[in-house]
Homo-oligomer: A and B are copies of this chain.
Amino acid sequence: MLKYIVLGLLSYRPMSGYDIQHWMGASTGHFWHATLTQVYTTLKKLEAEGLADSHIEPGTDRPDRRVYRLTESGRADFKRWQASVTTDMEVKKDSLLVKLFFAAPEDVEGLLTQLRVQVTLHRQQREAYERNVPQAMMAFLSDQPELMPNAELWELTRQYGIRYEETYLEWLHMAIQFLEARHSSRPTDEHKG
């Protein structure tokens, strides 16, 4: 799958591995990410498969860059993938839910701590979608104004991110309220006889 994000970014313009990692973080980062290592190995594989080619761009006061460009074959492969209909739903793995599911029901305090930390994290994530992501999109567009029509699609995925975080936060509040209510209705051992 990372293959297609890399092909997708290269379909906009030629890029180095470093560029790809950078723009991936700013654009698809909230629904797909990868480490730099993975990007470099993916690019190497794409070149071996003939879907991209590369050349070295010497840097004057910066390190040399290996810049990759889509080949015709690469562009065709990407279009073929775009046209294929996605019919499988991948499970969104979430270790917080695993923890909650298998928690000891009597350890309400521990659970509440976990959930409150998540509230902070998901708020930060929502902030990022509202501030950083639009900024990154603008930065990209100022380099390539011809991608303006694509920005509408980017915006749809950003809307998804915002809605997702809002739902997560609402659910967290609900869960916290529920557990708090349970907790206070259960007196501690000291009061029992």
Contact = CB atoms under 8 A, between A and B. Distances in A.
Interface in A165-193: 166-167, 170-171, 174-175, 178, 182
Given A159-B174, A163-B170, A171-B159, A8 B90 contact: no
A165 to B, nearest CB: 10
Nearest to A86: B96
B90 A28 contact: no
Given A32-B91, A85-B117, A121-B89, A101 B174 contact: no
A157 B95 contact: no
| Copies of this chain, whole number | 2
Contacts of A101: 8, 27-28, 31, 153-154, 157
Interface residues of A, number: 67
Contacts of A54: none
Interface in A1-57: 1, 4-5, 8-9, 11, 27-33
A98 B28 CA distance: 7
Given A78-B102, A97-B157, 5 more contacts: A8-B98, A28-B98, A82-B107, A159-B171, A163-B170
